[in-house]
């Protein structure tokens, strides 16, 4: 805290950060109620209720230099107050201000009676707003104003870097800003420091008290930047500390040592019609090493669609089985669970490994029998949906839990599956390539393996964007492809508000394709309302080549693997998210044939939709796609941070602050390595902040 701008007398700091806001001088119960609507109950809540932005109102423009359309800040003396026009008592108040260069009319909105009472001739006023022409005269329409009182150089609303907060009904910008000023003035100084001095010195970070003051009411841009850097660092450090603790918990825990001779693995390798890619070999070695180690594996396997994750997963399952344990594979949807079931059966059952399915769709006696077999250890590999984490499913000896497409599950579901065994190894697989900054955050508690190489012989998918006018030519192209022996996906968007409408759109499309385009071919329809058996039947027929064109809602999004299907037509491509489009495209290009993805789009696109389609046409690289998607959607949307079970950031921005993230991550790891439970006196503040930030989400038995 610089101290230079502190006004005396008004700043008193009774109580600590937990003080309810109503006891802050100048707030009281009524205003405290208003603040409560913003979720602000205590002094601490308010201190960390950071402005959306700051407006630079430091530069004062002389009246003579004003012209229409400018947004400016000016200062002058009130030379006159116009009376309201006859019969319009509620008209805005118009003042005449004078500065060294001339006069200016200023229009103020808001309660006229109140304004006329506080604004008197001779007073000095700072106003901020836009210069407009009104009846042939210039007037400054003030969005904010402030009296400059004698001897008081403290400005809140104008004439400074002015914070702009998120307002709410009954709590306008001026009032909110004034209340925030009171809290910051009275309490920021007393905010207990959380970072150890040595760390602050090394990273050149300002103190928390100074940072809070600078984040709300900075005097200069440099102060604001330093404040931001400090608070962003805190966001990242507290997250990374929590993640580091979760990790050491895993590596310190006693896990299963699964280190069989590897006969089953060798037999599967021998039976595969291909050899593993270098990337698959590397990743498999990493997983194999984790499984053999005496601590629980906690690893993320990341690989673009078609990079061959499933085979690697199968090797892990076989290793667990040969070591005498069971394996569970959890998928996010029934259709994907079924797809995995089919794949794992094909790969594992010839080796004598029993594979069974557990989903909500498996019911009654069948379900009871299956559960009994799992509990008895007769079924070695269990594939399922989140039904797997239901309490009734009990394993005899769960050694390996594989979670597919983890971005759809939260940290808690992952933990739920882990709890089915005693420290089983956990392998999380995702086909959504994640930019490094995000991976460090979201998967910060996992080791990461990346399949960064596609199996050989894949030709990149040709992607084209077309408008409705080209539909006849597109259909002609589809006919040619089918005539050449290929199969076609036609994907219709899901508009989640109305399943009935979606279904009708897909049904109409299928009917039209059947009657008008492919009268001599089989057109199938796959959608979310079909029962499990009906879905299976269609997929089986498509797989067998008996269905040539498969019209589908987005249920085919992930995991479906039919090499002969080499063309995909996406209807209303502008309605899909970017990652979703990329996942869809991954369904083609799986065989030796040249493959195509045609994006049929509306004539007029929003800017975002246009960028999504451009990105799809420009690249097949999942990592590039993911970066664009992250930019377009922001991390919260991209990953669904709210469901992830991780604490939210107060200020940090993964796109903007990647460098700070790396620093904080290194520091967090060093801190936890040196003082795993943060018990050193120098770490007391950090430990308190950590517990507060993670609330119940981090079970800090060893820290709390
Ligand atoms: P992912 O799950 O990563 O999307 P899959 O495991 O489904 O990818 O593999 C995609 C296709 O590639 C499957 O048909 C699989 O049999 C095949 N495949 C996997 N690994 C290889 C490899 N090393 N060489 C050739 N084909 C492979
Ligand atoms: Mg797969």
- The span from the CA of 369 to the CA of 304, in Å, is 37
Tokens of 455: 């199996």
Q: What is the pLDDT of residues 478-513, one digit of tens each?
A: 999 999 999 999 999 876 556 677 778 889 999 999
- What is the chain's mean pLDDT, rounded? 86
**Residues with C-beta less than 6 Å from any ligand 1 atom:** 274, 276-277, 280, 303, 305-311, 431, 455, 561, 590
For ligand 1, atom 10, name the residue with the nearest CA. Answer: 306
Ligand in nearest proximity to the CA of 313:
1
- The span from the CA of 16 to the CA of 24, in Å, is 11
Q: What would the DSSP string read from start to end of 239-285? A: HHHHHHHHHHHHHHS---------HHHHHHHHHSSSPPPHHHHHHHH
∠ CA 674-680-686, nearest 5°, is 90
Predicted local distance difference test score (pLDDT) of residue 401: 93
- The span from the CA of 493 to the CA of 600, in Å, is 11
Ligand in nearest proximity to the CA of 559:
2
Q: Could you tell me the distance, in angstroms and rounded to a whole number, from the CA of residue 180 to the centre of ligand 1?
A: 57
Predicted local distance difference test score (pLDDT) of residue 244: 85
User: Which stretches in the chain have pLDDT values below 70?
Assistant: 1-15, 150-154, 250-251, 391, 406-418, 495-499, 532, 554-560, 635-646, 696-704
Tokens of 568: 């995909």
List CB contacts of 540: < 8 A, sequence separation 6 or more: none
Q: Could you tell me the distance, in angstroms and rounded to a whole number, from the CA of residue 651 to the centre of ligand 2?
A: 36
For 549, the 3-state DSSP assignment is strand
Query: At residue 497, what are phi and psi to the nearest 5 degrees?
Result: -60, -35
The answer, as to whether pTM is greater than 0.85, is no
Q: Could you tell me the distance, in angstroms and rounded to a whole number, from the CA of residue 616 to the centre of ligand 2?
A: 21
> Could you give the C-alpha distances from 217 to 188, 207, 214, 262, 600, in angstroms and in order?
11, 15, 5, 64, 50
Cα R_g (the chain), whole angstroms: 32
With beta carbons less than 8 A apart as the criterion, state whether 538 and 335 touch: no
Q: Could you tell me the distance, in angstroms and rounded to a whole number, from the CA of residue 320 to the centre of ligand 1?
A: 21
- The span from the CA of 183 to the CA of 13, in Å, is 9
Q: Could you tell me the distance, in angstroms and rounded to a whole number, from the CA of residue 678 to the centre of ligand 2?
A: 41
- The span from the CA of 210 to the CA of 218, in Å, is 10
Q: In what order do the strands lie in the sheet with 326-330?
A: 355-358, 381-384, 326-330, 398-404, 425-430, 298-303, 447-451
- The span from the CA of 199 to the CA of 53, in Å, is 28
With beta carbons less than 8 A apart as the criterion, state whether 311 and 265 touch: no
Q: Could you tell me the distance, in angstroms and rounded to a whole number, from the CA of residue 590 to the centre of ligand 1?
A: 8
Predicted local distance difference test score (pLDDT) of residue 644: 56
With beta carbons less than 8 A apart as the criterion, state whether 494 and 653 touch: no
Instruction: Tell me which residue has tokens 């491509």.
Output: 573
Q: For ligand 1, pick from 306, 329, 337 the residue to mutate: most ligand atoms within 8 Å of CB.
A: 306
DSSP helix, strand, coil percent of the chain (3-state; round to 5): 45, 20, 35
- The span from the CA of 43 to the CA of 86, in Å, is 47
Instruction: Tell me which residue has tokens 């299963």.
Output: 256
∠ CA 510-331-288, nearest 5°, is 135
With beta carbons less than 8 A apart as the criterion, state whether 474 and 600 touch: yes
∠ CA 534-538-539, nearest 5°, is 115
Tokens of 601: 């789009």
Q: What would the DSSP string read from start to end of 395-433? A: -SSEEEEEEESGGGS-HHHHHHHHTTSSS-EEEEEESS-
With beta carbons less than 8 A apart as the criterion, state whether 418 and 653 touch: no
For ligand 1, atom 6, name the residue with the nearest CA. Answer: 308
Predicted local distance difference test score (pLDDT) of residue 4: 39
No. of helices (H) and no. of strands (E), the chain:
23, 20
Predicted local distance difference test score (pLDDT) of residue 10: 42
> Who surrounds ion ligand 2 at CB < 5 A?
310, 559
């Amino acid at each position: 805290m610089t101290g230079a701008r502190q006004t005396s007398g008004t700043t008193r700091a009774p109580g600590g950060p937990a003080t309810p806001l109503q006891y802050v001088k100048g707030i009281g119960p009524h205003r405290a109620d208003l603040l409560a609507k913003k979720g602000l109950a205590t002094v601490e809540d308010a201190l960390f209720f950071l402005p959306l932005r700051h407006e630079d109102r430091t530069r004062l423009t002389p009246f003579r230099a004003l012209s229409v359309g400018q947004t400016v800040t000016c200062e002058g003396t009130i030379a006159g107050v116009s009376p309201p026009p006859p019969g319009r008592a509620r008209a805005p108040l118009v003042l005449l201000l004078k500065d060294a260069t001339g006069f200016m009319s200023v229009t103020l909105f808001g309660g006229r009676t109140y304004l006329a009472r506080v604004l008197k001739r001779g007073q000095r006023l700072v106003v901020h707003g836009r210069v407009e022409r009104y009846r042939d005269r210039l007037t400054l329409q003030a969005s904010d104003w402030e009296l400059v009182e004698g001897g008081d150089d403290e400005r809140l609303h104008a004439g400074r870097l002015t914070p702009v907060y998120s307002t709410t009904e009954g709590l306008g910008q001026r009032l909110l800003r004034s209340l925030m000023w009171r809290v910051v003035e009275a309490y920021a100084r007393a905010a207990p420091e959380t970072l150890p001095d040595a760390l602050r010195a090394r990273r050149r970070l300002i103190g928390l008290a100074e940072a809070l003051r600078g984040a709300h009411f900075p005097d200069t841009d440099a102060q604001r930047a330093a404040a931001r850097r400090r608070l962003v660092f805190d966001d990242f450090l507290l997250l990374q500390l929590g993640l580091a603790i979760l990790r050491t918990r895993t590596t310190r825990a006693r896990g299963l040592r699964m280190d069989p001779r590897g006969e089953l693995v060798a037999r599967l390798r021998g039976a595969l019609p291909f050899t593993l890619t270098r990337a698959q070999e590397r990743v498999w070695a990493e997983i194999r090493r984790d499984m053999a180690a005496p601590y629980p594996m906690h690893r993320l396997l990341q690989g673009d669609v078609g990079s061959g994750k499933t085979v690697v997963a199968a090797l892990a399952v076989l290793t667990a089985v040969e070591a005498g344990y069971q394996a569970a594979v959890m998928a996010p949807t029934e259709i994907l669970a079924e797809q995995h079931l089919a794949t794992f059966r094909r790969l594992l059952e010839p080796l004598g490994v029993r594979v069974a399915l557990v989903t909500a769709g498996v019911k009654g006696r069948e379900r009871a029998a299956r559960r009994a077999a799992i509990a008895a250890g007769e079924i070695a590999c269990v594939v399922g949906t989140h039904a797997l984490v239901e309490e009734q499913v009990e394993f005899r000896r769960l050694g390996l839990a594989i979670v597919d497409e983890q971005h759809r599950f939260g940290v808690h579901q992952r933990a739920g599956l882990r709890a089915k065994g005693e420290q089983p190894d956990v392998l999380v697989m995702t086909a959504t390539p994640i930019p490094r900054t995000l991976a460090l955050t979201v998967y910060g508690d996992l080791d990461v393996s990346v399949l960064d190489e596609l199996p050989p012989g894949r030709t990149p998918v040709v992607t084209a964007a077309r408008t409705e006018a080209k539909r006849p030519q597109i259909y002609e192209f589809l006919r040619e492809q089918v005539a050449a022996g290929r199969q076609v996906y036609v994907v219709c968007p899901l508009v989640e508000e109305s399943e009935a409408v979606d279904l009708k759109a897909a049904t109409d499309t299928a009917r039209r394709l059947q009657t008008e385009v492919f009268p001599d071919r089989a057109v199938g329809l796959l959608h979310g309302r079909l029962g499990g058996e009906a879905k299976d039947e269609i997929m089986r027929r498509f797989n067998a080549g008996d269905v040539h064109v498969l019209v589908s809602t987005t249920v085919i999004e992930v995991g479906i693997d039919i090499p002969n299907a080499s063309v995909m037509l996406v209807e209303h491509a502008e309605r899909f998210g970017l990652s979703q489009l990329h996942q869809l495209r991954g369904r083609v290009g799986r065989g030796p044939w040249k493959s195509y993805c045609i994006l049929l789009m509306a004539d007029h696109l929003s800017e975002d939709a246009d960028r999504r389609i451009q990105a799809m046409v420009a690249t097949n690289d999942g990592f590039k796609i993911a970066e664009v998607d992250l930019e377009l959607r922001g991390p919260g949307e991209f990953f669904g941070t709210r469901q992830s079970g991780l604490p939210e950031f107060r200020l940090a921005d993964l796109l903007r602050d990647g460098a700070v993230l790396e620093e904080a991550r290194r520091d967090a790891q060093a801190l936890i390595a040196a003082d795993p439970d943060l018990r050193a006196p120098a770490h007391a503040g950090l430990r308190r902040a950590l517990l507060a930030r993670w609330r119940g989400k981090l079970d800090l038995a060893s820290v709390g």
